[in-house]
Amino acid sequence: MANNNSFSMSTMFNTIQEILNEEPLTVPSPPSRGGYSLFHIRKAEMDIQRIFNFMTGSEDLKDDISVLDTGTLMWMASLMTSDCDYFMVITTNKNGSKTLQKLMGMSDDMDVFFFEAIMRLFIHVMTDKYASYVTIQGMRVFQQDKRELMYDQILRYACFLARDQYGCIALNEIITDLDDPYYRDQLLDIVANNALLLSNDVYGNFVVQHVLKLRDSRCTRNIADKLCGYCVELSFKKYGSYIVERLLEAGDVPMATVVLDLLACKTEMLIRLARSEYGNFVVCKALELTNEILTADLFYGLVNRLMPYRHLLHRSPRSKIATILDSMSVPN
């Protein structure tokens, strides 16, 4: 497809350099409006368009950033962050986001512009597919004082972000990267304390799963405590069953919490769960893990509840539960 942009991609880099190097014009200024001449207004509009073209253009141009001088970089940072809408247009563009991430961390003075723009638009940036990576990069390269202010925002909006399509992905990235013990514990506590809400959310469940994968024993126990009494209900759901399986794999207290929930439900409910599309994996894993870890009371408690209905479980071709029961010799 032909490129209809009159500002050729091949000349963007040279144009940016030339803009800053232009000699002051000696021609008389046209009549002014609001203190600024129409000429300067139109020139500013052109500069903004050229910066946008450069930031969102071909990936081939991004290596040119390394040879831009400090003055040009500062000018670009200032212009890009001067207007909230303009900043969002750049950050929500795939190439714009990638280019901006390369500019971040190059200079503390430039980072001030980026930091202030991000903080003004924090929720909007964090819930966009591409813009969220700009915030994540800032948390990696900004000075500690700026990162701490961003962490405070994360703690404030953690539950909201966890339930957003792109916010949950960004939040998981931040949880993985977060190396400050205080803020890490605070964030994990927020996830644990809201585990039931998040586990039942189409996006929030991914955050709970992610936190459980970290195998932080304190946080895992807290999540198990918050989900106690709800493990059967969650096991009927696709993503909820993943969370319950993670708790089983955590062993010790979390595993006992799940199995005791299974044993506490009515027999009819347990059999229905064992035959359900997702619940059968939970019951099967509970049998396998309690047998492997030699928790006989939990293991045989499940076996004794399931054994009388083994014939029904054989009718579920995807389930291995009947096979496990067939292989067992249950003491009287």
CATH number of the domain within which 68 lies = 1.25.10.10
Q: 314-332 pLDDT, tens per residue?
A: 887 667 898 888 887 545 4
Host domain of residue 226: 215-331
Q: Where is the domain boundary, 124, 152, 179?
A: 179
The reported pLDDT for the residue numbered 257 is 96
Rounded CA gap, 99 and 210, in Å?
A: 28
β-strand partners of 36: 33
Q: Tens digits of per-residue pLDDT, 63-110?
A: 567 677 888 889 889 988 988 998 999 999 999 999 999 999 999 999
Question: Distance (Å, rounded) from C-alpha 23 to C-alpha 17?
Answer: 13
The secondary element (H helix, E strand) that includes residue 121 is: none
15 to 3, 47, 66, 82, 202: CA distances (angstroms): 18, 10, 16, 20, 47
Domain boundary among 179, 201, 227: 179
pTM: 0.82
Report yes or no: 122 and 170 within 8 Å, Cβ to Cβ. Answer: no
209: in domain: no
CA 316 to CA 24: how far, in whole Å? 81
Among 151, 179, 207, residue at a domain's last position: 179
Residues 31-75 pLDDT 10s? 444 444 544 445 555 667 777 777 877 665 555 676 778 888 898
How many structural domains does the chain have?
Answer: 2
Average pLDDT over residues 256-284: 96
Q: Is residue 225 part of a domain?
A: yes
CA angle 98, 14, 81 (to 5 degrees): 45
Which helix (H) or strand (E) segment holds residue 37: the answer is: strand 36-37
